[in-house]
Structure 1
């Protein structure tokens, strides 16, 4: 999604806003504000991504490992597909409104960096599904083939063990994905830096602000979980709020100053 106005990576630490445990809440408030100011692109993204996720989950509803793969793939690839909303927030920050047509033009311009990054994230999702399958296959006393099997034999068992280890493993694998994307995705939209530099900046931001970034990761997970509990319908609004908020997180973490584009 590179375009002529792309700029070098913002690296001036003199411009950094103070990041603390209040910052993630402020990012969400700013994300909500961006959605209210320019709702059409955000709600369209939310509707299309939620519909796509619902289709995937419906198609894999009777096969647990297909369902797990579809679920993981949706959670990992959705942030890449929502990157057009970073441009909308960038425009709002610069005092103007970016419509759907402008977002479509950016996507049509193409950006190999985002394609490459999306493929790497899809590979990470596949790795999680295979690792999860190996753990449950080796540990579970019965074969897990359907979602109901996983619920009965893994989630609802009285003994502490497999489910807790499965959750811990998922968290350990999700952490580096989050650290690699939280700044990198908006930076790839905003600047012309290579993927490696964007990922390095993302890891540096997480390392410098571990507490606020851990809270930000938890908030994203909770909001997505709440959206899932509403039969995915809540994601229509929550996806754009999270995407817009992620832009403001990127600005604070890198010291980017909003200017008209």
Structure 2
């Protein structure tokens, strides 16, 4: 039986409906996200620069210890959208025709609102769980030691058998899918509405279950662009981080509306 907190979260979630969208709508989210970045570039580029510097510092600090590096980058990928919350506020202001600047982004972090911080910590724990599970799989299945990224590429990615790499990818997808489903709509919803974390998660899951194909495409686009940003020695993240943040706001606005606003 659901407890009182779960019942309240379900009621909160039911106050929001999920719109129907076509398969290729995520491409439109990217287009609108890019438009927001061009209209108001300073907040986004500041966020992107901070994230790129942070990612570069993590790589430098953990570059010779593969599992530390994997953990740092996993946590970085999961928590980065939470840290981009201010850019959702910028996109919302642009949507309303209001003034949008760096102060708009900073005001999104209200010191009395701990929901985003709590959600970010939960995502960081999920990333830690993935790293520990991944390390256990690789270290128990391999006779050699994986201590550097080059060891992982040589012994796992480029292995003749390929079975271990396939299992590692499958396990990663299995663990990443529920995290993505829980967070893809929840983060902008938490910024935009007075809703509890669990209610936002339930709403996010409903959006994903209603549109598995478009949101699978969205996940692939996010992963690809993030990988390209990291592949440029993190410099690409200066643009990729705000682009995806603004686009995520439009994904949320396209899919999730109050029940009375749905047409």
Task: Output the TM-score relative to the length of structure 1.
Answer: 0.91
Residue 122 of structure 1, CA deviation: 0.6
Q: Quick check: 40-49 or 138-147, which moved more?
A: 138-147
Partner of 2:40: 38
Q: Quick one: distance in 1 between partners of 2:148 and 2:187? A: 34
Structure 2 CA distance for aligned equivalents of residues 244 and 75 of structure 1 = 16
- Structure-1 residue corresponding to 2:168: 166
Give every structure 1 segment of 4 or more consecutive aligned residues whose post-TM-superposition deviation is greater than 3 Å.
Answer: 8-13
Q: Residue 150 of structure 2 is aligned with which of 148, 151, 157?
A: 148
Residues 45-64 of structure 1 aligned to structure 2 (within 5 Å): 45-64=47-66
Gaps of 5+ in 1: 1-7
Distance 1:37 1:256, change over 3 A: farther
1:213 maps to which residue? 215
Query: Shift of the alpha carbon at 1:95?
Result: 0.8
2:244 aligned residue: 242
Could you tell me how far apart the structure 2 residues matched to 1:114 and 1:175 are?
20
- Contact 2:156 / 2:162 at 8 angstroms: preserved in 1? no
Q: Which residue of 2 aligns with 1:186?
A: 188
Cα deviation, residue 255, structure 1 = 2.8
**TM-superposed deviation, 1:175:** 0.6
Quote the Cα distance in structure 2 between the aligned partners of 1:246 and 1:102. Answer: 17
The Cα of 1:155 is off from its aligned counterpart by 1.2
The 5 A counterparts of 1:1-261 are 11=15, 13=17, 17-255=19-257
Q: 1:11 and 1:246 mapped to 2: Cα distance? A: 21
Aligned equivalents of 2:28 and 2:83: distance in 1?
Answer: 24
* Farther off after superposition, 58-67 or 143-152: 143-152
Return the offset for 1:110. Answer: 4.1
SS of the aligned residue for 1:255 comes to: strand
User: Aligned pair count?
Assistant: 249
Alpha-carbon distance, 1:102 to partner: 2.6
Residue 235 of structure 1 deviates from its aligned partner by 1.0
Q: CA deviation at 1:171?
A: 1.0
CA drift at 1:105: 2.8
Whole-angstrom CA distance in 2 between matches of 1:113 and 1:12 = 18
CA distance in 2, matches of 1:64, 1:208: 38
Confirm or deny: 8 A CA contact 2:33 2:250 kept in the other structure: yes
